[in-house]
Chain A
Amino acid sequence: MENIRTGRIWPVLKYGAALCGLIVLALALIGAGRAEPEPEVVDPEELELDGVELRLGVETGHALGDPIKPYVEEWEEMTGASVEITEIPFAEIFPRFMTSFHAGTDDFDVVIILPTWLGDMSQFLVPLDDLIEGDDMAAWDDVLPVCQDIVTWQNETLIMPLDCDLFMSFYNRTAFLDDDHRAAFEDSYGYELAPPETWDQYYDIAEYFTEQDPDLYGAMESMSRGTQTFWTGLSRMVGYVSQGEPGALFFDPEDMTPVINSPGHVRALEEWVRVVDVGAPDILEFDVGDIREQFPLNTGALALDWASIGFIPTDRENQELIGFNPIPGPTEVYDHDTGRWIELDEPNRVPYMAALGWGAAIPVTSNEQEAAWQLIRYLSSPEISLKLVSMRDNYDPATGYQPFRYSHFENIDGWVESEWDRDRAEEYLEATFESLTADFVKPDLRIPGAFEYLDELDAGLTAALAGEMEPQEALDEVADRWDAITNRKGRDVQLRLYRESMGLE
């Protein structure tokens, strides 16, 4: 046929390849031309912020994104700057920030992150020490020492705290004060119904309510995959393996051998698995959000969660329902050195700083570092952070911010002003303060790869809880995978950083 021409595609490809090459070259040049911004030191008070645009990255929703919004808006009005808030789901927040940091793209001026990621993120964040020093608004001395320690990495302060995390147990006060329940419980179990001090009591109480009260589930705990179940697990494990000495929870501080499959850890997990039978029927699908939605509806007897006041329903109406109780403990503790269990007179209730606490940091890529600091010091200031942790202007459930300043604990009036019942607030603050100032409060893992280590732990724990694996088998596998991560990242480096982050060097 005449109109079908015979041709060669070679020229097409030749030009195509040349064009591709040119484009790549041009792109490479653009990339190479982009220089790192030089942070300038200017007195923050004198900054003119009209027209400045900041981008803030924070976790999605009620817990972290929503509560800061009123104060960010307030700050925008005061300064004339504008802030664009990007909300990112929890499972994506670490990867998202890390890809952005790795990419070297200027995506965020302020990121609200967890100190547990510092080992991976430290090199991408601006040290704040010079800014903090002498800044009355940041009021560094007002921050609890333990909450200061966790945001410091390699002698640099990289995060300004907005929160200081702690795991706590909760009980249904209404049910615990019910005379029928108290009598029936004592009949069956031979001791008084009271907030549990040991895990055995915790189990008994959960069992009692599951069997005796059709309207109350015995226990609510996070148990599903990808929802930070590992933090509930670590909070439970810590009392079985440690009386406060560092390095007993994750790795042997001598050679980075994982201790996560020690007899202590395994027993903690075995006892946790038993809770599945006395918990809510769908407890294996729970994450902390489900607890926070359901427990305040008077549907549970016991719960484990972070100690944020957001646990209380925000209509502030049935504050009576929720009782605060430091986390229970076992009566025996496993000693790694001798390989023996030690009997204790008192239950070993070791407070655990799961996740360590959200705080604000400035990526080195930001071009608005001065303005970013202005925003951060405002949010973290005693005045504003009190409103954050007491949910002053926030009527959506579940703030993720917990008290971290001396002034938060001293200023009960501030909590009453946020419409909390004075007794409830005092009980809550007392329990929290006691735990945070205890000698043996256990910090979380912060070394590089912490996200990956903890994700592997999450897989092992959820498999054991769901009955897909035996606890010993699951934790042995976690230990193997932890070893593989350590080897990949370099055992010597990891060991040094682990010791430093645990305060051993």
Chain B
Amino acid sequence: MIRLNSVQRWSLFVALVLWAIIVIFPLYWMVTTTFKLRADIYAGPALIPWVDFVPTLEHWARVVARYQQVTRAMANSAVAGLASAAAATFIGGMAGYGLTRFQYKLGFLRNRDIAFWILSNRVLPPIVLVLPIFIMFRTAGLVDSRAGLAIVYTMFNLPIAAWLMLEYFKQIPIDLDESAKVDGATYMQILTRIALPLARPGIIATFLVCLMFAWNEFIYALILTFSRAQTLPLVVAGQATQHGPQWWDIAVMATITIAPLLLVTILLGNRLIAGLTAGWGQ
């Protein structure tokens, strides 16, 4: 292991703190903006509350007063995000498990090729797919619905979910399946009692990654929703009105939008990193 003397350790620390400041500052700037009066915002940069400006809850109060719009967008984001992340993880997990435990053949496509085909869907630009999807959804009555969004997000997360889950299942030795089989376990039992518990870190990481992509997604939501199913990123973008960007409202909505994922990251970040490290590193 490489060892550092204490001068090196602390200079490294200072360098990392500098980057941490770069990471934090835009967040800090936005959150403090939510507490500034309009006049303070236009008066020029003010950094420190109570020193440079007197904080106000005016903007938060206004958003709270219009809470229906916010809560609906939040519910839409949550439903579409959670449902699609769960579905993508589940369906992707099934595919990943199948591809590591059985051999498939489709013409010249073998397991490996099928896996690549699934993953390759991830690279398709949404702008290519979204118009036809819109037309299909219109026929199906799925435009501007949570269900429609959840379906699209499942599709768009499926490649990455299948890929991540495949990587985890690959690491669970088939010998374990073997011995369970000898003990008379069915496939279902092998899956639920052996594979799933062992792959749990991977499942959590996959779920989080899918949730993140769905929660933050913009272009599909922009085109496939009009009103009822609008998600949080659209409400954030919607604060730029004909009459100028309402910085205070934008900042409040953006803060509301990013807060849940920030919280999740703080709580589960180390687990996510551990999960990805275990699954991806080799």
In their complex, do chains A and B touch, with some C-beta pair under 8 Å? yes
As a 0/1 sequence over residues 98 to 121 of chain B, the CB contacts with chain A under 8 angstroms (1 = contact) are 000111111101000010000000
Task: Establish whether residues B238 and A8, one from each chain, have CB atoms under 8 Å apart when the complex forms.
Answer: no
Bound: A299/B39 CA distance, A: 11
Bound: A105/B138 CA distance, A: 7
Q: Is B240 an interface residue (CB 8 A)?
A: yes
- Residue B69 contacts which of A6, A57, A59, A87 (CB distance < 8 angstroms)? A87
Task: Establish whether residues A90 and B242, one from each chain, have CB atoms under 8 Å apart when the complex forms.
Answer: yes
- Residue A89 contacts which of B104, B144, B238 (CB distance < 8 angstroms)? B238
Q: Is B42 an interface residue (CB 8 A)?
A: yes
Identify the closest chain A residue to B110 (Cβ): A9
Task: Establish whether residues A28 and B139, one from each chain, have CB atoms under 8 Å apart when the complex forms.
Answer: yes
From known contacts A5-B102, A88-B238, infer whether A63 and B243 are also in contact, taking CB-CB under 8 Å: yes
Q: List B contacts of A91 (CB < 8 A).
A: 240
- Residue B227 contacts which of A1, A90, A107, A228 (CB distance < 8 angstroms)? A107
Q: List A contacts of B177 (CB < 8 A).
A: 3
Q: List B contacts of A100 (CB < 8 A).
A: 226
From known contacts A9-B114, A27-B140, A107-B227, infer whether A62 and B241 are also in contact, taking CB-CB under 8 Å: yes
Task: Establish whether residues B243 and A89, one from each chain, have CB atoms under 8 Å apart when the complex forms.
Answer: no
Bound: A81/B140 CA distance, A: 29
Bound: A124/B141 CA distance, A: 19
Task: Establish whether residues B140 and A30, one from each chain, have CB atoms under 8 Å apart when the complex forms.
Answer: yes
Q: Is B223 an interface residue (CB 8 A)?
A: yes
Shortest CB-to-CB span from B34 to chain A, Å, is 17
Count A-side interface residues using an 8 Å CB cutoff. 54
Q: Is A92 an interface residue (CB 8 A)?
A: yes
Q: Is B143 an interface residue (CB 8 A)?
A: yes
Bound: A289/B247 CA distance, A: 11
Q: Is A55 an interface residue (CB 8 A)?
A: yes
Q: List B contacts of A84 (CB < 8 A).
A: 227
Task: Establish whether residues B241 and A289, one from each chain, have CB atoms under 8 Å apart when the complex forms.
Answer: yes
Q: List B contacts of A107 (CB < 8 A).
A: 144, 226-227
Task: Establish whether residues B227 and A59, one from each chain, have CB atoms under 8 Å apart when the complex forms.
Answer: no
Task: Establish whether residues A293 and B42, one from each chain, have CB atoms under 8 Å apart when the complex forms.
Answer: yes
Q: List B contacts of A227 (CB < 8 A).
A: 244
Task: Establish whether residues A10 and B106, one from each chain, have CB atoms under 8 Å apart when the complex forms.
Answer: yes
Shortest CB-to-CB span from A409 to chain B, Å, is 24
- Residue B106 contacts which of A5, A9, A287 (CB distance < 8 angstroms)? A9
Shortest CB-to-CB span from B176 to chain A, Å, is 11
Task: Establish whether residues A103 and B39, one from each chain, have CB atoms under 8 Å apart when the complex forms.
Answer: no
Q: Is B273 an interface residue (CB 8 A)?
A: no
Q: List A contacts of B174 (CB < 8 A).
A: 1, 3-4
Count B-side interface residues using an 8 Å CB cutoff. 41
Shortest CB-to-CB span from B264 to chain A, Å, is 28
Q: Is A61 an interface residue (CB 8 A)?
A: yes
Q: List B contacts of A9 (CB < 8 A).
A: 104-106, 109, 114
Task: Establish whether residues B38 and A293, one from each chain, have CB atoms under 8 Å apart when the complex forms.
Answer: yes
Shortest CB-to-CB span from A225 to chain B, Å, is 12
Q: List A contacts of B105 (CB < 8 A).
A: 6-10
Q: List B contacts of A64 (CB < 8 A).
A: 242
From known contacts A8-B104, A30-B141, A103-B134, infer whether A63 and B178 are also in contact, taking CB-CB under 8 Å: no
Q: Is B222 an interface residue (CB 8 A)?
A: yes
Bound: A31/B138 CA distance, A: 8
Q: List B contacts of A8 (CB < 8 A).
A: 104-106
From known contacts A6-B103, A27-B139, A87-B69, infer whether A63 and B226 are also in contact, taking CB-CB under 8 Å: no
Bound: A292/B245 CA distance, A: 11
Chain B positions 157-207 with a Cβ under 8 Å from a chain A Cβ: 174, 177-178, 181
Identify the closest chain A residue to B238 (Cβ): A89
Q: List A contacts of B249 (CB < 8 A).
A: 61
Identify the closest chain A residue to B105 (Cβ): A8
Identify the closest chain A residue to B242 (Cβ): A90
Q: Is A60 an interface residue (CB 8 A)?
A: yes
Shortest CB-to-CB span from B236 to chain A, Å, is 10
Bound: A12/B239 CA distance, A: 47
Q: Is A489 an interface residue (CB 8 A)?
A: no
As a 0/1 sequence over residues 130 to 143 of chain B, the CB contacts with chain A under 8 angstroms (1 = contact) are 00001010111101
Identify the closest chain B residue to A32 (Cβ): B139
Task: Establish whether residues A292 and B244, one from each chain, have CB atoms under 8 Å apart when the complex forms.
Answer: yes
Task: Establish whether residues B143 and A90, one from each chain, have CB atoms under 8 Å apart when the complex forms.
Answer: no
Q: Is B71 an interface residue (CB 8 A)?
A: no
Shortest CB-to-CB span from B30 to chain A, Å, is 18
Q: Is B18 an interface residue (CB 8 A)?
A: no
Bound: A59/B242 CA distance, A: 8
- Residue B102 contacts which of A7, A63, A88, A398 (CB distance < 8 angstroms)? A7
Q: List A contacts of B103 (CB < 8 A).
A: 4-7
Q: Is A13 an interface residue (CB 8 A)?
A: yes
Q: Is A263 an interface residue (CB 8 A)?
A: no
Q: List A contacts of B227 (CB < 8 A).
A: 55, 57, 84, 86, 88, 107-108
Q: Is A400 an interface residue (CB 8 A)?
A: yes
Q: Is B237 an interface residue (CB 8 A)?
A: yes
Identify the closest chain B residue to A398 (Cβ): B243
Shortest CB-to-CB span from A168 to chain B, Å, is 15
Bound: A90/B237 CA distance, A: 10
Q: List A contacts of B243 (CB < 8 A).
A: 61-63, 287-289, 292, 398, 400
Q: Is A493 an interface residue (CB 8 A)?
A: no
Shortest CB-to-CB span from B97 to chain A, Å, is 13
Q: Is A316 an interface residue (CB 8 A)?
A: no
Residues of B within 8 A of A (CB): 38-39, 42, 69, 101-107, 109, 114, 134, 136, 138-141, 143-144, 174, 177-178, 181, 222-223, 226-228, 237-246, 249
Additional 11 contacts, C-beta under 8 A, given A3-B174, A88-B227, A91-B240: A1-B174, A5-B103, A9-B105, A10-B107, A28-B139, A30-B141, A57-B226, A289-B243, A294-B42, A299-B42, A400-B242
Sample of 13 A–B contacts (CB below 8 Å):
A1-B174, A3-B174, A6-B103, A7-B103, A12-B104, A86-B226, A89-B238, A90-B240, A90-B242, A96-B226, A287-B244, A292-B243, A400-B243
